[in-house]
């Protein structure tokens, strides 16, 4: 691993993406797409207004390097789906009479590169690595992780819903990533963070040049600015929050967080760390089918529903408490990592106005309050 | 290794325990797995019918009887209804064993009291046979078992076998109105029958399993009889998908039933949030 920093011009960065594509390597990167392309979005007022052509960013597998969007917005969905797909086969079966034949699915994957990942999205992968490996190893997750080299693009902070620094991440962090690009005049400061990142830089060194001190200083200053900017959005003590939640399960604050929530589960879909899944069998004709895992959400009543009809979490408040408890107490207590990287997507996507920044502020205040004045 | 890929097993025997409860005996098709498979009393697995999906139950046979595993289930959901349809010779899937176990070896020299209600006898049966297969290692063995009606008593052949042994004290009971003409057992709910049977608590452990209401009502009765919270063991069920601590649904507060359980002491239950 090298701590050396290089300069790469924007055109060379695009050329690097083109080189990778030319060599047959999949490249995943933010791409600007027509925000009104999906049937759901078409009904939104933005898409109905004449003359409007709104765009949003999505992580896509590039077909051409020109698609690479180096703007600094946040893709609608995180990188999660490239490691834990929305749905994926766990195995396939064929039945003939009383015999069953199982067809295994591959757990090794072709090498691929993610360019311009958001630091909150790569950090989420490192956080979820823990649960995927704490005892039995999830080789589908691990196979995709091993095959992927991730280069982050330092983030200027998107809006007031961002709070990565409050949960141990940062807008210029390389947690979960193999390298970092920081925008500077005319291009990027490019540095490796892991051996895997070093290999990528070395393979493309013809596109790199030494970086002037003035540029690295500018990059560092920009990154420091971004950190200060996001830190102003939320300042909590994650350790106190963790311990307070763990000891206040029945506290009225925790037991009534879901006043606005209607349990749609959109927060789980957009969350880079929500990894809960369901396993279902899908028949694909007579005597054959696929056992599949698909994203699930703790916000759905069926998530914990027993066959007997008993449901341990039978109201939305208890389901929302589970979401907060899992992210900010259960997971940190077990794995030492907060199950949240402060991307703010859950707040932005919520049509009912559940605001995680607000909720964490409230819990932080409760956690800091001396025990004797707790009502 | 793909941890979600099931082993294939052949159904070699089936017993209809009650009108809606069935026991299947399964033998692994892969010879190496058949020979190397081991588990501990109290562990569970994911049983599957291909096309219907997976369902979670304990292994109801004891580890002291290798070569096969058994499961008992009530046909209430999609998978259990499909499992109810399989015949001898059919192939099903199994992943496991998962979870912790009853610390049976720590009970050597102690009296063991089993209390079960309804289908709750399935996880307890595994422990009963595990103890009876090494009968000399333990003190007095008492089994108190209740069901809604005589029809609903599971493992009837084994209940008779246990009753015929002189080294087991067994009390069976059915809810009032559930008795038949020839019924010679007790009539009443499990909890008062435990109170009446009053097994000695000194140098004893209790294994309690049944519907939540039976567990809830019987815990204080056992405490009253002198059983310490650390000497009362139970096994919890929660909806699970992976069984491996990843799918995120079986937790009770910070405790994962699939990894930290399913076996808990009454002392551990008291530490849990009331969300199960």
Q: Which domains does chain B have, with CATH numbers?
A: 7-98 (2.40.30.10), 105-235 (3.40.50.80)
Which of A100, A243, A277, A287 to mutate: most B Cβ within 10 Å? A100
Work out the average pLDDT over A298-322. 92
The count of structural domains within chain A is 1
Looking only at the bridges linking them, the beta strands covering A5-9 and A99-104 are unpaired
Show residues of chain A in contact with B120, CB under 8 Å.
none
What is the Cα–Cα distance from A73 to A52, expressed in whole angstroms? 19
> Is B241 close to A310, i.e. CB distance below 8 A?
no
Predicted confidence at residue B245, as pLDDT, reads 95
Which of B8, B120, B213, B249 to mutate: most A Cβ within 10 Å? B249
Chain B, 59-98: which have a CB under 8 Å from a chain A CB?
Answer: 76-77, 80, 89-91, 93
> Is A304 close to B254, i.e. CB distance below 8 A?
no
Predicted confidence at residue A39, as pLDDT, reads 62
Q: Which domain holds residue A141?
A: 5-373
**Tens digit of pLDDT for each residue in A150-197?**
999 999 888 899 999 999 999 999 999 999 999 999 999 999 999 999
What is the Cα–Cα distance from B226 to A267, expressed in whole angstroms? 49
Q: Give 3-state DSSP helix, strand, coil % of chain B, rounded to 5.
A: 30, 30, 40
Predicted confidence at residue A1, as pLDDT, reads 37
> Is B50 close to A305, i.e. CB distance below 8 A?
no
Work out the average pLDDT over A338-359. 95
Show residues of chain A in contact with B237, CB under 8 Å.
306
> Is A138 close to B90, i.e. CB distance below 8 A?
no
Looking only at the bridges linking them, the beta strands covering B7-18 and A112-117 are unpaired
Say whether pLDDT at A374 is over 60: no
What is the Cα–Cα distance from A369 to A14, expressed in whole angstroms? 52
> Is B5 close to A98, i.e. CB distance below 8 A?
no
Say whether pLDDT at A2 is over 50: no
Show residues of chain B in contact with A298, CB under 8 Å.
248-249
Which of B11, B51, B236 to mutate: most A Cβ within 10 Å? B51
> Is A281 close to B51, i.e. CB distance below 8 A?
yes
Percentage of chain B modeled with pLDDT above 70: 100
Say whether pLDDT at B124 is over 80: yes
Predicted confidence at residue B276, as pLDDT, reads 80
**Tens digit of pLDDT for each residue in A103-147?**
999 999 999 999 999 999 999 999 999 999 998 999 999 999 999
Q: pTM of this prediction?
A: 0.93
Tell me the residue ranges of DSSP E strands in A108-235.
112-117, 148-153, 179-184, 187-192, 209-210
Please report the number of interchain residue pairs, chain A to chain B, with beta-carbon separation below 8 angstroms: 126
User: What angle, rounded to 10 degrees, do the helices at B121-132 and B156-164 form?
Assistant: 40
Tell me which chain A residue has its CA closest to the CA of residue B260: A334
Say whether pLDDT at A370 is over 80: no
């Amino acid at each position: 691993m090298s701590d050396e920093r290089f300069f790469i011009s924007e055109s060379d960065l695009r050329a690097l993406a083109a080189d990778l594509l030319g060599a047959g390597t999949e490249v995943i990167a933010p791409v600007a797409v027509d925000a009104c392309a999906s049937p759901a979005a078409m009904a939104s007022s933005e898409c109905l207004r004449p003359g409007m052509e709104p765009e949003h960013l999505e992580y896509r597998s590039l077909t051409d390097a020109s698609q690479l969007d180096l703007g600094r917005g946040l893709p609608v969905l995180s990188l999660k789906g490239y490691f834990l797909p929305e749905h994926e086969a766990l195995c396939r079966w064929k039945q003939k009479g009383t015999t069953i034949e199982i067809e295994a699915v591959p757990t090794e994957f072709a090498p691929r590169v993610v360019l311009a990942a958001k630091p909150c999205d790569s950090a989420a992968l490192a956080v979820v690595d823990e649960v995927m490996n704490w005892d039995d190893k999830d080789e589908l997750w691990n196979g995709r992780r091993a095959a992927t080299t991730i280069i982050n693009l330092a983030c200027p902070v998107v809006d007031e819903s961002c709070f990565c620094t409050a949960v141990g991440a940062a807008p210029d962090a390389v947690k979960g990533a193999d390298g970092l690009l920081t925008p500077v005049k005319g291009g990027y400061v490019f540095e490796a963070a892991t051996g895997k990142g070093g290999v990528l830089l070395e393979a493309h060194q013809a596109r790199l040049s030494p970086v002037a001190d003035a540029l690295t200083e500018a990059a560092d200053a920009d990154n420091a600015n971004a950190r200060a900017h996001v830190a102003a959005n939320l300042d909590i003590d994650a350790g106190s929050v963790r311990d307070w939640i763990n000891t206040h399960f029945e506290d009225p604050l925790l037991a009534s967080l879901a006043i606005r929530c209607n349990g749609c589960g959109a927060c789980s879909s957009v969350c880079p760390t929500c990894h809960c899944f369901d396993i279902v069998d899908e028949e694909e004709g007579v005597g054959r089918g696929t056992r599949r895992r698909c994203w699930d959400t703790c916000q759905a009543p069926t998530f914990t529903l027993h066959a007997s009809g008993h449901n341990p979490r039978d109201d939305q408040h208890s389901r929302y408490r589970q979401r907060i408890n899992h992210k900010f107490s259960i997971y940190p207590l077990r794995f030492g990592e907060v199950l949240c990287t402060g991307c703010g997507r859950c707040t932005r996507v919520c049509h009912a106005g559940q605001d995680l920044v607000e909720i964490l502020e409230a819990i932080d205040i409760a956690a800091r309050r001396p025990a004797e004045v707790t009502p | 290794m793909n941890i979600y890929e099931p082993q294939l097993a052949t159904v070699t025997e089936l017993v209809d325990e009650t009108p809606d409860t069935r026991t299947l005996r399964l033998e692994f098709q892969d010879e190496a797995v058949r020979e190397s498979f081991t588990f501990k009393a109290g562990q569970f697995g994911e049983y599957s019918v291909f096309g219907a999906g997976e369902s979670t139950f304990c292994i109801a046979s004891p580890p002291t009887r290798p070569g096969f595993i058994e499961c008992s289930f009530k046909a209430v959901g999609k998978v259990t209804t499909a499992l109810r349809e399989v015949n001898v010779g059919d192939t099903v899937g199994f992943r496991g064993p998962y979870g912790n176990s009853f610390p049976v070896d720590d009970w050597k020299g102690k009296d063991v009291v089993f209390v079960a209600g309804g289908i709750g006898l399935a996880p307890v049966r595994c422990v009963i046979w595990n103890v009876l297969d090494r009968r000399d290692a333990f003190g007095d063995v008492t089994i108190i078992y209740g069901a809604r009606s005589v029809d609903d008593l599971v493992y009837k052949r084994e209940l008779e076998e246990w009753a015929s042994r002189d080294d087991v004290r067994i009390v069976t009971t059915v809810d009032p109105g559930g008795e038949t003409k020839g019924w010679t057992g007790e009539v009443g709910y499990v909890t008062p029958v435990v109170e009446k049977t009053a097994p000695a608590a000194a140098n004893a452990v209790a294994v309690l399993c049944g519907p939540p209401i039976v567990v809830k009502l019987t815990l204080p009765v056992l405490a009253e009889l002198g059983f310490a919270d650390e000497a009362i063991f139970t096994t919890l069920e929660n909806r699970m998908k992976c069984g491996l601590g990843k799918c995120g649904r079986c937790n009770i507060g910070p405790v994962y039933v699939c990894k930290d359980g399913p076996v808990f002491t009454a002392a551990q239950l008291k530490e849990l949030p009331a969300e199960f």
